[in-house]
Every structure is written in structure tokens, then in C-alpha cells.
A and B are shown apart, each in its own frame.
Chain A
Amino acid sequence: MTDLDRFLSTFFNLEVMARYLPMIVDGFVLTTYLALVIIATGLTAGLLLAVIRSQQIRLVNWTIVFLVDMFRALPPLVIIIMIYFALPNVGLGVSGFVAVWISLSLVLTAFAEEIFWAGIVSVSKGQWEAARSTGLRFEQALLYVVLPQAVRLTIPPLTNRAIAITKGTALGSVVAVPEILTQAQTGLSFSYNPSTLTLGALAYLILFVPFVVFGRWIETRFAWKR
């Protein structure tokens, strides 16, 4: 057996790959689902917090800034472990899936709030004044005039951040969420062959490359505008 043969049979063992493909597909489906709910939750909550922050209520804003800074600073894995292992001690046991969902959503919420907020602030004061001078209420000016402009500016950084954070679903392997990496590792422990990890890596590529390409497309799409 040559070195190359050994390498191929270790990492690209088609027979092992075929055997564990259904497991990885299950993981792929679950990871996709988890990523989507994290993005939906994180972006919605982030936008909501940015809108609340734009009301400029001092105590509320301090709270938002404090929480946002905290969740931007904490490593996602630490948050997952806290939620999964610490909460049951106060009678709030959650599944690994829910722990990862909550944790990564909190992190994405924090980053998204900052990005949306920066977008809102970057819209010139004159836009607010023009809108308000025609009789639009504050929230109408925000919704119809400021946010459409702010969101356009925030799409590229939001896309990048959403990709970075949803990749963190791999951390679910620590709390037994049967996502791609968990399935690949389980396959590895049964087969003693790391080809399952190769398969897992391929699954990640299939899931995230379209995301990355979409992000680049949207960046160029909006770059020339304004």
C-alpha cells in the first residue's frame, strides 16, 4: 500500500462515505434548519432592538448597549455551555438544539443590532426632517424613509456576520445536537475512519458556499447605488 493509497483510504474512503452519507444528510438538514432559525431570530431581534434604541430612552439604551456588548464579547461556546449546563440547575432545562439556537441567536442579535443601529445613524438628519415636516410620525419616518436607506447599507456586513455566526452551529457538537459535525464524529467513532469528517466538510461547503456567493452578489448589487 503506497502512502497515497493510505491517505485516500483514510480520508476519502468511498465505501465509508457511502455508508455514513444518510447520517451526514440528516445532519445537513438539521444544520440548515438551525441556521435559518438563528438568522430569522437574530436579524428580527436585532432590528427590533435598533428600532427601540432609536427612541433614545436613556435607561433602555444603556441596557441595550450593555447586553449587546456582552454578547459580542462572550465566545459563543461559553454561552452555549452556560445555557445547556447551567440553566437546568434553576429548573430550566433545554435541549441542545434549543441551547444552540438561543445562544447563537443572542450573538447574532447583538451584532445585528449594532449594524442596524449604525445604518440608522448614517441616514442624514435632513431625511428625518423632511419626513417629519410633511406630518409623518416618528415611527412612520423611521419605517418608510430611514429604514429602507439604513437596511440597504447594512446588507453586506449583515450577510458576513450571519455567515460567521451560523457556522457556529458546529459548536452544537458539544451539546449533542445531531448537526453535521456531530454526525461526522459519530460516524468516525463507529468506522474508525475520518472519511466521515471529509464528508462533513463537503456538507458545510454545500451549505455555506451559496451563502458566501449570495453575500458577494448582494454586496456588488448595492455597492454602486447612492
Chain B
Amino acid sequence: MATTDHAILDARAIRKSFGSLEVLRGVDLNVAEQELVFIIGPSGSGKSTLLRCFNRLEQPTSGTIVVDGIDILAPGVDINAMRRRIGMVFQSFNLYPHLNALGNVTLALRKVLGKPRDEADEIAMAALARVGLAEKAKSYPNELSGGQQQRVAIARALALEPKVMLFDEPTSALDPELVGSVLKVMRDMRESGMTMVVVSHEMQFARTAADRVVFLDKGEIVEAGAPERIFGSPAQTRTREFVTRIEHR
């Protein structure tokens, strides 16, 4: 997939502290339109925190984040308007248990975008079809497998037509045999040109689908580059150690 120079997400000097613990120590990350950036790193390296800063679920201590031309950390910015352009998929799916799949997808369409019910239903059905779950529209989350739940969660984000999608360990909570279905959906999204930032341990997926792999350790970007370089010939010792460890699990 060809990438353009137009940056959808431009994060600069992001720092984040929880009390005296500094989790992010000045991270710069630029994501171009239609690019798939993969963030890897040991647990506690700050990957998820970084991702959560990108839609302000975490408030960075300092730095700037520009999404689609708008500084989302600026005072007075309409963060809710920005968030609907930034899709997020969580490790634990976080589907609404009291709503069926359709209801999960239509809620924001109706309450945030103000779509009438029939139009919202139509958009939601199309989104569910994209993730291969049109026939599960009336099912409640507790009637769906983990893989299906995660795909509904992806549809929920997709339906709002975001400019960029953030994936926070989307397959970590899944049984191994269900991982493939979620990765397939993510690959389809990439084929259709969605800009994506993925935090994950699915190295095989990173190798084949990522445009760029970013290795984060102790709150800093150690190294970034094409997947074949990061996995094949990493320049930094820390990267090499991590990649070796993760591939020989």
C-alpha cells in the first residue's frame, strides 16, 4: 500500500508521568495517511499509555499531538469531536453488555453523529458486514466468542469512519484459534487504506502487514523502521534482545 506524506497523526515530545513514575520520556511519532505503524516493546515500556494519549484517554504531561491537522491537546479543543475521528479497539473488547451487536455499533452513530435510527442501522449493518458478522447483529456480547466480540468492537469504531484507528493489544485476550479472524479483519482494513497504529505482540502480523515497526522501551523509542530491518537486522542491542526473546517464545 502506497503511503503519502500527509501526516494523520503527529505526536511530538510526549511525556507522561504517573506520580513520580515517568512512563513516557519524550516520544515523537508521525503516522502518515494509510500507514500501518506497529508499536512493539516489553510490558511496562509505555506502549499502551502512548496509544491512549493519542485520543486523550490519558492526558500527556507535556508534548503536542496533532491529529488530522488539529492539536488535540489545545485548551478548548472539542475532544469528543476529535475522538469520533480516532477509532480505538481495546484488549478487553469493552462491548456494552446490555446492547446487542447492532446497538453497540449504532450508539455513537445516533448519539454523537445524530443519525436517525434507520440510517444508523444501515451504516452499522455495513460495518458489521465488513467484519463478517452481519448475521450476528441481534446477538448480545455474551452470546459471541471473543473473536466475534472484538470484531464487533472494530465495527463499532469503523462505523464512525475514523481517520485513524488505534489498536491496543487487540488479540491478547483471545484464544489462539480466534486470533486469525481478528487479524484478517485488520488486514482487510489495511488493504482498504485505513491508517492504523497497532500495539501488539503478533510479530508475524507485523512482519507481513506493517509499514513501520517502532520499538519502545522504558518510555523511549529505541528504534523504528521497516519490519524486515527491525526484525532482520536491528541496529540496537535492546531491540535485538527483545526481538530474539519474543520470537523464541
Contact = CB atoms under 8 A, between A and B. Distances in A.
B108 interface: yes
A144 B111 contact: yes
Contacts of B77: none
A140 B111 contact: yes
A130 interface: yes
A72 interface: no
Interface string A148-171: 110010000000000000000000
A135 B57 CA distance: 11
Interface in A178-195: none
B94 interface: yes
Contacts of B98: 148-149, 152
B90 A134 contact: no
Interface residues of A, number: 19
Interface residues on B, range: 20 to 34
Given A136-B80, A144-B107, A130 B112 contact: no
Interface string B129-158: 000000000000010000000000100110
Contacts of B108: 134-136
Contacts of A136: 80, 107-108, 111-112
Nearest to A140: B111
A137 interface: yes
A126 B92 contact: yes
Contacts of B90: 126, 129-130
**Which of B86, B88, B94 has its CB near the most chain A CB atoms (within 10 A)?**
B94
Interface in A85-136: 124, 126-127, 129-136
Given A144-B107, A145-B107, A135 B80 contact: yes
Q: Nearest 9 pairs between A and B by C-beta?
A: A135-B84, A130-B94, A134-B108, A126-B94, A133-B88, A135-B112, A135-B83, A135-B80, A148-B98
20 contacts: A124-B94, A126-B94, A129-B90, A130-B153, A131-B96, A132-B80, A133-B86, A133-B87, A134-B108, A134-B112, A134-B160, A135-B84, A136-B80, A136-B107, A136-B112, A140-B111, A144-B111, A145-B96, A148-B98, A149-B98
